[in-house]
């Protein structure tokens, strides 16, 4: 999964990037795009690795891009180049400045910055939709596509993001080439001073985010970046001093998985223990398709061991002997923590 950190100049994107990745790229204004890969921590995978002692353990991964803001321009910070870099991401993470930055004149105003960002994305999408509709007057438009674009235009004109349109109302099959910004999942990180790190998201912002199908969290990037670089054994005490229970990365992952409605299933064996993120509600056949298209095409059935049940019995054999190994068909809805063994034939 690719998550792009975006936001206005000096909002703390690079500092947030360091917090989440544990890297140490130089902060300061501008600079270039940074990439950092993070393994999604999962204790269940650690435990399964201990049991199966596989050659490889593969955690789910997030690739973060730190997309630099534009300096010198007016208030808005999204250059043409930044917009291109944003379109390449699966998820947008908007970093909002809520700390006083001595290098900037303006006092922090995260609500105004959120609104400005959302407006900028709406206008960029509306521009694209209108250009397509203009062109459609000349060439012979596909009627279904025209309906979709009219619907998108009406939605954007009501200041609603495209992501508020359900799959039933908008057929996205033919739209993937466009890279609409307001169709991307949006997550917001409010970057605060250290003394406010543990205060919840303000209610007004929480409401605004819910209304635009987005999610938010709070962190204090400069101090949490320091904590992220420490020995894991020392981190808990420093987090507790800030009034926090979990690292910024752990909180970020909960928020992102919640926003995207992701769960994890596992595959196990002597070669590999692996976590696979899928949308909640995915069926066994779709889950098989995450692993390989052959498994989806040739799907016969899936053996399912829920993690907790597996841990209770301790081994697949014990589960079989107790008659607890579930045999499920293609329509079985995969649950978080299911260990799957897909039987297939191609």
Ligand X SMILES: Nc1nc2c(ncn2[C@@H]2O[C@H](COP(=O)(O)OP(=O)(O)OP(=O)(O)O)[C@@H](O)[C@H]2O)c(=O)[nH]1
Chosen residue from 4, 68, 110, 216 binding ligand X by CB under 6 A: 68
Looking only at the bridges linking them, the beta strands covering 2-6 and 186-192 are unpaired
Residue 11: contacted member of ligand X, Mg ion, none (CB under 5 to 8 Å, by partner type) = ligand X
Quick one: CA dihedral 324, 327, 333, 337, positive or negative? Answer: positive
268 lies in the binding site for ligand X (CB under 6 A)? no
Chosen residue from 4, 10, 14, 188 binding Mg ion by CB under 5 A: 14
The stretch near ligand X (CB under 6 A) out of 22-30, 173-181, 238-246, 309-317 is 22-30
Residue 337: contacted member of ligand X, Mg ion, none (CB under 5 to 8 Å, by partner type) = none
Q: How far apart are CA 41 and CA 24, in angstroms?
A: 20
193 lies in the binding site for ligand X (CB under 6 A)? yes
The stretch near ligand X (CB under 6 A) out of 21-29, 41-49, 79-87, 312-320 is 21-29
287 lies in the binding site for ligand X (CB under 6 A)? no
DSSP SS3 for 273: strand
Footprint on residues 49-88 left by Mg ion (CB under 5 A): 68
Q: Which long-range contacts (CB under 8 A, 24 or more apart) does 156-164 make?
A: 156/122, 156/125, 156/126, 156/129, 156/182, 157/126, 159/119, 159/122, 160/212, 161/118, 161/121, 161/122, 161/186, 161/212, 161/213, 162/125, 163/212, 163/213, 164/212, 164/213
Chosen residue from 2, 29, 210, 237 binding ligand X by CB under 6 A: 29
For every residue of 76-108, DSSP letters joined together read ----HHHHHHHHT-SEEEEEEEES--TTSSSPP
Helices and strands per DSSP (H, E), number in the chain: 13, 12
Chosen residue from 6, 27, 165, 268 binding ligand X by CB under 6 A: 27
229 lies in the binding site for ligand X (CB under 6 A)? no
Task: Give min distance, CB of 11 to ligand X, in A.
Answer: 4
Binding region for ligand X (CB under 6 A): 7, 9-15, 27-31, 68-69, 99, 101, 191, 193, 220-222
Binding region for Mg ion (CB under 5 A): 13-14, 68
């Amino acid at each position: 999964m690719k998550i792009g950190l975006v936001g206005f100049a000096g909002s703390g994107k690079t500092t947030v990037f360091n917090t989440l990745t544990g890297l140490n790229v130089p902060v300061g204004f501008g600079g270039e795009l940074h990439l950092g890969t993070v393994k999604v921590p999962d204790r269940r995978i650690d435990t399964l690795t201990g049991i199966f002692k596989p050659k490889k353990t593969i955690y789910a991964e997030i690739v973060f891009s730190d997309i630099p803001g534009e300096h010198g321009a007016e208030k808005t910070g999204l250059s043409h180049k930044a917009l291109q870099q944003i379109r390449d991401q699966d998820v947008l993470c908007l970093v909002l400045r809520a700390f006083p930055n001595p290098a900037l004149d303006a006092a922090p105003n995260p609500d105004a910055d959120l609104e400005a960002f959302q407006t900028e994305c709406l206008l960029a999408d509306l521009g694209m939709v209108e250009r397509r509709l203009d062109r459609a007057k000349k060439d012979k438009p596909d009627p279904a596509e025209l309906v979709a674009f009219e619907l998108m235009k009406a939605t954007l004109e009501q200041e609603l993001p495209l992501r508020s349109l359900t799959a039933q109302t908008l057929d996205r099959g033919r739209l993937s080439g466009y890279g609409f910004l307001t169709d991307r999942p949006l997550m917001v990180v409010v970057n605060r001073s250290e003394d406010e790190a543990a205060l919840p998201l303000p209610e007004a912002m929480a409401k605004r985010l819910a209304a635009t199908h987005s999610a938010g969290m709070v962190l204090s990037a400069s101090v949490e970046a320091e904590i992220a670089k420490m020995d894991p054994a020392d981190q808990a005490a420093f987090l507790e001093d800030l009034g926090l229970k979990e690292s910024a990365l752990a909180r970020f992952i909960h928020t992102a998985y919640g926003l995207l409605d992701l769960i994890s299933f596992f595959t196990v064996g002597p070669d590999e223990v692996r976590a696979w993120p899928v949308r909640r509600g995915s069926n066994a056949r779709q889950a098989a398709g995450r692993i390989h298209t052959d498994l989806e095409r040739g799907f016969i059935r899936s053996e399912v061991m829920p993690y907790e049940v597996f841990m209770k019995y301790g081994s697949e054999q014990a589960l079989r002997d107790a008659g607890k190994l579930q045999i499920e068909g293609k329509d079985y809805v995969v649950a978080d923590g299911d260990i799957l063994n897909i039987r297939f034939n191609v």
